[in-house]
Amino acid sequence: MHHQGISLDVLLDIYTCVLRIRRFEEEVSRLFRQGQLPGFVHLYIGEEAVAAGVCATLTDEDTIISTHRGHGHVIAKGGDIKRMMAELFGKASGYNKGKGGSMHIADFDIGMLGAIGIVGGGIPIAVGAGLSAWYQDSERVSVCFFGDGAANEGSFHESLNLASALNLPVVFVCENNQYGEFTPAARAMNICDIADRAAGYGIPGLVADGADALEMYRVARTAAQRARDGDGPTLIEAKTHRRGSHAEGEEAFLAGQTYRSEEELAAAWAKDPLLLLHTYIGEQNLLPAEQLETLDADITQSVREAVDAARNSPDPKVESVFEDLWV
């Protein structure tokens, strides 16, 4: 890990982002276990450095598309954890007025074009956002997050090829956390690096350490710049690990079965993106320890406030089912 070419401001932003995602997701996990959240939640713990590093290279004009595991992307793009938390509770004050839930959070005002619950379903839409940028002669970049599992969907293939054929400003970020649900990537494909698929579309394919937020930042910056320069799309594969369940409460699905070993999990924790960054900042004396502690306390507090606000928000009115249908 190193921060060459990265300003202290940016570093602090990235660190803040990683931490905010972590604290948010930890709270969501608790809430889910307490039976307070409806539906399914898929947490981003262990993968925070990917969204944090990538989104730190983007402006508010740039857009992202997310997945079922989307809370981290929303936060990294600058989303409001209050409105997100309220949405997880299904409340009227949520981002989607309770109509979306965990798998469908969007904030169009900050270029977060939505999470998509269909695996791979967001990739073509990101190509379209890139097409817009190209059409409008804008410097906007369209970033698409998706998993290793999604890389086996037809939408992945068609989308990367389409973006390449039209030379669009899209950055495809594959979060290879080694599993699609309970199926290891190694069983779902006979290649080590998904980035190798980029060659099949004539675009660059880069592997990055998804535990290293600073590396993610540098790689994404290169890809985003390439896109802005009119040189077309890039595929970035972030090697990462999800620390918890596929979906919270996966124990119920597993019913005593296991799909990854304790050693594997321990090895993954050893590369905890939050810890790595925290340690690096400490070792390099980049920011005072007290500042980091205050930051953590503030974030933890804001998450708590988000929960309180969400809990105290009203349910959507039944009549609102008929709203938001037609323009």
Ligand X SMILES: Cc1ncc(C[n+]2csc(CCOP(=O)(O)OP(=O)(O)O)c2C)c(N)n1
Residue 58 binds other proteins, judged by CB under 8 A:
no
Which of residues 53 and 180 has its CB atom nearest to Mg ion in the complex? 180
Tokens of 60: 């508010």
Tokens of 151: 């890389």
Residue 62 binds Mg ion, judged by CB under 5 A:
no
Q: Which of 72, 94, 205, 233 binds other proteins (CB under 8 A)?
A: 94
* Least CB distance to other proteins at residue 70 (A): 12
The entry of ligand X, Mg ion, other proteins, none near residue 69 (CB within 5 to 8 angstroms by kind) is: ligand X
The closest of 128, 139, 216, 137 to 176, measured between CA atoms, is 216
Which of the ranges 19-27, 159-167, 171-179, 218-226 carries the binding residues for Mg ion, by CB under 5 A?
171-179
Q: Which residues contact 202 (CB under 8 A, 6 or more apart)?
A: 164
* Least CB distance to Mg ion at residue 148 (A): 4
What is the rounded distance in angstroms from the CA atom of residue 173 to the CA atom of residue 51? 9
Residue 197 binds its own copies, judged by CB under 8 A:
yes
Residue 148 binds Mg ion, judged by CB under 5 A:
yes
Q: Which of residues 170-189 bind its own copies (CB under 8 A)?
A: 187-189
What is the rounded distance in angstroms from the CA atom of residue 186 to the CA atom of residue 249? 24
Question: Quick one: which H or E segment has residue 66?
Answer: strand 63-66
* Least CB distance to ligand X at residue 88 (A): 17
Tokens of 231: 């040189």
Residue 100 binds Mg ion, judged by CB under 5 A:
no
Q: Which of 74, 150, 207, 219 binds other proteins (CB under 8 A)?
A: 150
Provide the binding-site residues for ligand X, judged by CB under 6 A: 42, 68-69, 117-119, 146-150, 175, 177, 179-181, 246
Tokens of 168: 């669009």
The entry of Mg ion, other proteins, ligand X, none near residue 93 (CB within 5 to 8 angstroms by kind) is: none
Residue 169 binds other proteins, judged by CB under 8 A:
no
- Sign (positive or negative) of CA dihedral 247, 251, 256, 261: positive
Residue 158 binds its own copies, judged by CB under 8 A:
yes
What is the rounded distance in angstroms from the CA atom of residue 228 to the CA atom of residue 242? 31
Q: Which of 136, 262, 263, 285 binds other proteins (CB under 8 A)?
A: 136
Taking CB atoms within 8 Å and a gap of at least 24, the contacts of 160-164 are: 160/123, 160/197, 160/198, 160/201, 160/203, 160/233, 160/235, 161/200, 161/201, 162/124, 162/127, 163/127, 163/130, 163/201, 163/203, 163/232, 163/233, 164/201, 164/202, 164/203, 164/232, 164/233
Which of residues 80 and 250 has its CB atom nearest to ligand X in the complex? 250
Residue 177 binds other proteins, judged by CB under 8 A:
no
